[in-house]
Each structure stands twice: as structure tokens, then as C-alpha cells.
Amino acid sequence: MKKHWPAVVGGVAVVAAVAIAAPSAVGAPTGTRAETGTRAASTAAATASAVVRPAAPAATPAPAATPAPAATPAAAVAPAGDPVRTVRPGQRVDAGRGFTVWLTREGKHWTGPDGYENFRSVVDGNIDRSEPGVSHQSEGDATGVFHSGVYYGTRKAGRVELSDAEGHRTVATLVALPGRPDWGVWYAHTGPSAGNGGGGLGVTLYDRGGRLLAELPGFDVPTGRG
């Protein structure tokens, strides 16, 4: 009589094996409990490591280069040390020692400590503005002399000087109206002059390059308004 138990047992074993393996067909873990635990621990450790590890600092961008300032055209730069002060028509200029000077389109005005107003026209035909020239008025006393006048016939006046017989020179202040007209006013103070009110001083007009434009020799007049 043949014995079939081994076969039956084998069949049961096969069925059991199939039953154990069956869950893997529907997505159950195929590893053992120990393997599953190991994988879970590895995953947790990796996650913890990712959380604890600080992020690498971001790279600092290089500072942007600052562009060099554009060069200023030479023509746009105002000349330094302009020898002529520009004033508005009628603007009073304190000329010192109680004297005041102002300009209008018609000419030069000034007053002294006595308040008396003086005027010299540049439009009445008494001066020839077609060529450079200079005029001179003076008034003073034992304390000093105030000199003033009109320069004309040039838009490039640079300096007016008074000079005496000994060669002493006094540089005057120049004022003019806006727009660089072809005339302006000069004024200066000197020490007292005996007998001629300062009229004995010569007056010289130079351009901005130092070139002589006009000169007016000194003359002898009594102290007062010339």
C-alpha cells in the first residue's frame, strides 16, 4: 500500500507557502518584521539628520561696481575768481566809509556820507563806447578819498588800478549789470590827498589777460565832486 502523506503534507506545505506569500501580491511588506523595523529606523534617522543639519549659508553676492562720475565739460564750469561782480539794476552796493553805489541802464549812481546823490550817464553821448575808456570822479577830506568811475567799450574788463607819482597802486572793485554789457563801474578808497581831492591819481584799465586797454592820467582838481 502506497503512502501519500508526504505528498499531502507537501501539498499542505505548498498551500501554506502560497498562503504566506499571498499578502505580497496585494502590497503587504515582503520583508520580515526585523527587516521592516530596520528600514523604519534608517528612515527616521535620515529624517532626523535632515532636520537637525543646518542649511548652508547662501553665498553673498559681490557688491555692484560703482560707475565713475561722468566728466564735466569744460564749457559748463564757471570760471573761478570773476573780477567783476554782477548786480541787479538799482541794487545798492555798500562801497564802504558811508558811500553807496548802484547802477541803472542809464549809468552810474552814488551817494556819500552827506546823502547827496550823484549821477554819471553812459547814454548821453559824453563817452564813446566804441572803444575802451575809463572815467574818474573823486571826493574826500583829511580822513581819506573815495574814487569811482565808469569803464566802457569792453566786455572783458579784468582790473582797474589807481596809481600815484611814486608808483603806489590801488586795485578797484568792479561791478556791472547782468548780461555782460560793454560798461561797468569801479570804486576804491585811498588815503587823504593834499589839495586835489585824489584827482592827481592816474587810472588804468586792463583786460582779463592783463593787457592794457585804456589809461587816464591824473589831474589836479579841488577836493569835492569831480
CB 143 within 8 A of CB 163: no
> Which residue, chain included where needed, has cell 559824453?
126
Site of grid cell 548786480: 87
> What cell does 123 get?
547814454
Name the nearest CA neighbour of 193 among 136, 147, 150: 147
Could you give the count of Cα atoms lying within 13 Å of 108 in the half-sphere of its Cβ? 25
Which residues are CB-neighbours of 6 under 8 A, at least 6 positions away? none
Torsion angle defined by CA atoms of residues 171, 176, 182 and 183, in that order, rounded to the nearest 10 degrees = -60
Query: What backbone torsions phi and psi does residue 185 show, to the nearest 5 degrees?
Result: -125, 145
Which residues share a beta bridge with 176? Answer: 86
User: pLDDT tens track of the chain, all 226 residues?
Assistant: 444 444 444 444 433 333 333 344 434 444 444 444 444 444 444 444 444 444 555 555 555 554 443 333 332 233 457 899 999 999 999 999 999 999 999 999 999 999 999 999 999 999 999 999 999 999 988 889 999 999 999 999 999 999 998 889 999 999 999 998 999 999 999 998 755 566 689 999 999 999 999 999 986 544 444 4
Q: How far is CA 30 from the centre of its chain?
A: 83
